[in-house]
Amino acid sequence: MLDQYALINKIRRRVFEEVAKLAYSGDFQKIEELPYTICEESVGRSSIFLERAIVSERIRLAIGLPVRNVNEHKPISYGIEDAIKTERFYEAPLVNIIDFACNACPMESYYVTSACEGCLANPCANVCPKGAIKLVNGKSVINQDLCIHCGKCQSACPYGAIIHRERPCAKVCGMHAIESNAEGKAVINYDKCVSCGMCMVHCPFGAIADKSQIFQVIQALKADTKVYAIVAPAFVSQFGPKVNLKTLDDAMEKLGFDGVYEVSIGADICTISEAKDFLENVPEKLKFLATSCCPAWSKMAKMEFPEFRENISMAMTPMVYTARLVKKQHPDAKVVFIGPCSAKKLEASRKSVRSDVDFVLTFEELNGMFLAKEVNLNALKERELKNETTADGRGFAVMGGVAQAVVNSASKIAPDRPIPVYAAQGLDNCRAMLNLAKLGKYDGFLLEGMACPMGCVSGAGTIAAATKAKAMVGMSQKETPKKLAIESEYADLIDKLD
């Protein structure tokens, strides 16, 4: 989550906290009071009433319910009986725009500011290939109907008076799925959306939110069933310096979980599977192999480059491998994946994954549960690590970590086999990588794709700054005795979990 959007983050996280409190207490009648509890005063919108109306829809999404039609009178609790279940999957759409929270920001445009001096040379107009710039009352004006957004005018202006404006949510959407409705407000083209969540965390008005399963997870924790958390490698640093690999069990137990597994266990298994796939298939059967652990990248690749479907590794993601391991050891248990990623929610809703992963929470949502239960994260007890994993598995959280792990294991299997690697971060860069692959530039390569810049450490559901989280992941790798995934004690489980 972007640190500079402090006010928006505060409200977003307060919603998670209050919804978690509601779920733990079971007093669902209080849901109508939550907007007033969360919004005691406006944080900058035009009115406190608008703020509370927006928060009301955030509360519904946090419970897993859809946003309401503004033309229909329905209480916040409408449909809550469907949310009070331990067997509820995400219903499309996962990522939602709260219409009346949207600022209707202009789409991409070049705009002449008041800094224009109306200079005699008029270089902006001279370089415009479409004649879109004219002097009006001594100032340059751009005809947006003629402008082709080439940016030549901006480069030519000696006063820096021309700015390039882009709608923030559209700018970061690597799928170009943000469009406009008749009122100029943002809408999501769900045929393109891969639920990466980047639009959600870059909207300066907090108008975009995804659905949560906090409510359902807490119902499961309160029920007479075993519930295990599987936690993604990016968790280090997310909850402060006191929440580490040795204290995580204690923290999760205070919420009601019966145990914790590191998803890096599944990352080790995924690594070995992809290493074997590469050695067996490239280049004899496949020109290249691409990693599969990022669901947003994987979906984009298969949607836009169907000819490369077979080139995306068929290995299960670390989340699925770890969940299957837990279900194998605890057949009647529920499994909750906790990580940095909004797209994992979409992955877990697939029919092929539903029986493995029961719920998905982000780090932000888990933090809401810690706050609701008043867990003192600075006073946790250290415990001996139960599930041994490797440095390679923990490195999956950062850009380049997946490919490096695969290369490390493949080099052990076939020491004389060189494996060239290319890694791309951000879906636009991933798309460019595959376009070059079409031209044969990456024949014989192992390609890694990550939807989020810097990798999972900057996912839509993170709390800590990505640079800090990356550094902490590196430290956890250094402190891990076993380095290579192929050395994992779970290495022989691949065939049993596939």
Q: State pLDDT tens for residues 427-440.
A: 999 999 999 999 99
- DSSP-based three-state secondary structure for 3: coil
- Per-residue pLDDT band at 497 (split at 50, 70, 90): confident
Q: Tell me how many degrees the CA angle 119-123-124 measures, rounded to the nearest 5.
A: 100
- pLDDT attached to residue 209: 97
CATH classification at residue 119:
3.30.70.20
- pLDDT attached to residue 129: 97
- Per-residue pLDDT band at 170 (split at 50, 70, 90): very high
Please count the structural domains in the chain. Answer: 2
Q: Is there a cis peptide before residue 283, judged by omega within 30 degrees of 0?
A: yes
Residues 387, 259: one domain?
A: yes
Residues 417, 295: one domain?
A: yes
Residue the block writes with tokens 């331990």: 86
Does residue 116 register a pLDDT over 90? yes
Do 20 and 27 form a contact (C-beta atoms < 8 A)? Answer: no
Residues 306, 444: one domain?
A: yes
Mean pLDDT of 281-306: 96
pTM of the model: 0.94
Residues 149, 235: one domain?
A: no
DSSP 102-129: ------SEEEE-TT----SS-HHHHH-T
360 domain-assigned:
yes
For 294, 450, 498, the CA distances from 196, given in Å and listed in that order, are 10, 10, 26
Domain C-terminal end among 143, 165, 187? 165
CATH classification at residue 261:
3.40.950.10
Question: How far is Cα 366 from Cα 214, in angstroms, rounded to an integer?
Answer: 8
Do 64 and 83 form a contact (C-beta atoms < 8 A)? Answer: yes
Residues 142, 289: one domain?
A: no
239 domain-assigned:
yes
Domain C-terminal end among 165, 181, 212? 165
Residues 132, 234: one domain?
A: no
pLDDT tens column, 239-285: 998 998 889 999 999 999 999 999 999 999 999 999 999 999 999 99
The token duo for 89 is 């999957």
- pLDDT attached to residue 43: 67
Quote the domain boundaries for residue 141.
109-165
434 domain-assigned:
yes
54 domain-assigned:
no
% the chain with pLDDT above 70: 98
pLDDT tens column, 28-81: 989 999 999 999 876 678 899 999 999 999 999 999 999 999 888 999 999 998
pLDDT tens column, 424-479: 999 999 999 999 999 999 999 999 999 999 999 999 999 999 999 999 999 999 99
Mean per-residue pLDDT over the chain, rounded: 94
Mean pLDDT of 321-339: 96
Residues 116, 263: one domain?
A: no
Question: How far is Cα 193 from Cα 95, in angstroms, rounded to an integer?
Answer: 9
Residues 160, 233: one domain?
A: no
Going by DSSP bridges, is the β-strand pair 133-136/259-262 parallel, antiparallel, or unpaired?
A: unpaired
pLDDT tens column, 171-214: 999 999 999 999 999 999 999 999 999 999 999 999 999 999 99
Residues 151, 299: one domain?
A: no
- Per-residue pLDDT band at 5 (split at 50, 70, 90): confident
Domain C-terminal end among 165, 181, 210? 165
Question: How far is Cα 484 from Cα 313, in angstroms, rounded to an integer?
Answer: 20
- pLDDT attached to residue 98: 97
